[in-house]
Amino acid sequence: MSDAMAIVSNASEEEFELRRGPWTPEEDTLLIHYIARHGEGKWNLLAKFAGLKRTGKSCRLRWLNYLKPDIKRGNLTPQEQLLILDLHSKWGNRWSKIAQQLPGRTDNEIKNYWRTRVQKQARQLKVESNSQTFLETIRCFWMPRLIEQMEQTSSTSTSTTSQSSSSTPSTMETQNPAISSLLHNQTSMNLDSVTNKPYEKPNSVTSSTIFSDSMRIPELPEILEHPTSSTHAFSSHLSDCYYDMEGFNLGPMSEVGPSEFSLSAGQMEGSDWTSDDVAGTVWNMEEFWHFRKPEELSI
DNA sequence: AACCGGAACAACCGCCGGATC
DNA sequence: TGATCCGGCGGTTGTTCCGGT
């Protein structure tokens, strides 16, 4: 018998028993019951003694990402989305670290959210998801919109005591210290100026009033004066900006306003930013253009 | 009704660092 | 001190679902 055949023979006795692919309800039950009796950890032994034909890794993943009792399922709330955007700007793809700030959410879920929702927007805008262009998009439009949604939620849920709703986070927000902290850094923000009205001059709405410390944007260099095309203007401006990709930190940038933030119609074409799904895209095209001063639309 | 493509989610893979022997 | 094992992490792939044609 050749060595190769011997290997196959040995493997057939043990490894070929290993199951892969989706978990069955029976496997889930086995895992849940075993952990209920013996606790987590020692995953390889656990898999063996629980009678699961799975690797320890697979068991661990199944438990942590799906079966654990405190796992929160369903769409991410605007608060959670906002926190993810904020934390990602701080820490980059440190999914597990980000997940620690969102109780009940797994790193896998957050990672999937980023890849399917956030990066989708970048693709549709034809920009890199890690580019400064896209980061500005997030800061200028996505995050204010999320905050607006949170405010609306807050207003609705506290309609009987709506007087303070415009500046006070709802109980939903305050349940999570990280979200609460993020929001408190933003309570001075003038929501109307970034959500419901044409964009004010940059001087009137500073980035520091909108975003937490982690996202605060230093003073900006002069912006392009007379862009011949918005796309060109944007890319030219961006090329002057420093961006520290390694840590996903924001380098020197301007207070972001429409004069330096311009996307061409072509870039927006095909985008589904018109969707107003809370769990997905959070503003639509009309709103997008409404942010901008009329004179800036004459491209 | 069938097919197709994209989105969303679940699961796997490879690598790395720490613990233990 | 090196070898091995285990758990954790981020990236990638596979599967399912759903809407459009």
Per-domain residue ranges for chain A?
3-67, 78-157+164-297
Identity of the highest mean pLDDT range in A40-44, A142-146, A262-266: A40-44
Å separating the CA of residue A46 from the C1' of nucleotide B19 = 19
Class of residue A244 by CB neighbours under 10 A (exposed 0-12, middle 13-18, buried 19+): exposed
pLDDT higher than 50, residue A75: yes
What pLDDT digit, counting tens, does each position of A209-233 carry?
A: 333 444 333 322 332 233 333 333 3
Residue A153: per-residue pLDDT: 65
Question: Which nucleotide is nearest, taking the CA of residue A62 and each C1'?
Answer: B11
At residue A100, the pLDDT reads: 84
Alpha-carbon dihedral of residues A82, A87, A92, A93, nearest 10 degrees?
Answer: -70
**Is the pLDDT confidence value at A67 over 60?**
yes
Whether nucleic acid strand B comes within 7 Å of the CB of A94, the answer is no
Q: Which residues contact A200 (CB under 8 A, 6 or more apart)?
A: A193, A257
Report chain B positions within 7 A of protein CB atoms: 7-14
Euclidean distance between the first and final Cα of chain A, in Å?
76
Reduced to 3 states (helix: H, G, I; strand: E, B; else coil), residue A150 is helix
Q: Which of A130, A142, A101 is nearest to A250 (CA)?
A: A130
| Nearest nucleotide over every DNA/RNA strand to the A97 CA, judged by C1' | C9
Greater pLDDT, A144 or A29: A29
Q: Report whether A137 contacts A282 (CB < 8 A).
A: no
Residue-wise pLDDT for A176-190, tens only, equals 566 566 555 543 333
Q: How far apart are CA A134 and CA A65, in angstroms?
A: 29
Tokens matching residue A31? 């895992």
More confident residue, A269 or A27: A27
In this prediction, residues A18-22 reach a mean pLDDT of 83
Q: Say whether domain A3-67 belongs to CATH 1.10.10.60.
A: yes
| Token duo for residue A131 | 């580019």
pLDDT value at position A236?
36
Tell me the pLDDT band of A29, cut-offs 50, 70 and 90.
Answer: confident
